[in-house]
Amino acid sequence: GTTLGVLPADVVHSRYILLWGANPADTSPHSWRFIEEARRRGARVVTIDPQRTPTAAGSDWHLQPIPGTDSALALGLMHVIVKERLHDAEYVVNHTHGFDKLQLRLAEFPPAKTAAITGLPEADIVKLAREYAKAGASTIRLLIGMEHRANGAMAFRAISCLPALTGAWRHRGGGFRLLLSQN
């Protein structure tokens, strides 16, 4: 696909915002204001970051996985989403490739194993997967934090599968964003 993602201004239409390894409250105040507007409109803001950042402090929920375990967390979330049939099967069939192979890989990441790898409580992994999958117009905002770890590129790939799996791209404000310079 392309490197284009959710437009910054469209984040106000998001219902669930995952800020994964991103600290826009400090590093991207121009986009943080859209996140705050989305929250005023009822969006839930969740930060996934090993560090307690200003963004984490300003979020509804902060999860602190062990550094470098982002791929495992993404696969664990997808495991729950697929196992509980919370994925958008029609979207997956019509807009993705390799779902059968992905399902085989996801079998290796049940919540208990994902919890052991990431250091997060199993219940939090299941809760996050369910909330994210059920939100519809959910967006994930990534920045460069996780690329400072081994296998960072694979973590980006794994995380970017989440909005395709849930069909978040169908909704205005739903999808994925990496860098603002992409548009």
Q: What is the largest CA-CA distance in the chain?
A: 40
pTM, two decimal places: 0.92
Q: What is the pLDDT of residue 179?
A: 59
Mean pLDDT, each 10-residue run in order, the chain (183 residues): 73 95 89 95 96 95 95 97 97 95 96 98 98 95 74 86 95 82 45
d(CA 136, CA 164): 11
Give the containing element (helix H, strand E) for 175: strand 175-177
What is the 3-class SS of 16-81, one letter each residue?
EEEEECCCHHHHCHHHHHHHHHHHHCCCEEEEECCCCCHHHHCCCEEECCCCCCHHHHHHHHHHHH
What pLDDT is stored for residue 183 in this prediction?
Answer: 41
63 - beta bridge partners? 48
> Which pLDDT belongs to residue 145?
67
Query: Can you tell me the distance from the alpha carbon of 25 to that of 76, in angstroms, rounded to the nearest whole number?
Result: 27
Q: Per the structure block, which two tokens stand in for 165?
A: 């799996």
Per-residue confidence (pLDDT) for residue 182, from 0 to 100 = 43
Residue-level pLDDT at 46: 98
φ, ψ (nearest 5 deg) of residue 6: -60, 130
pLDDT at 4: 66
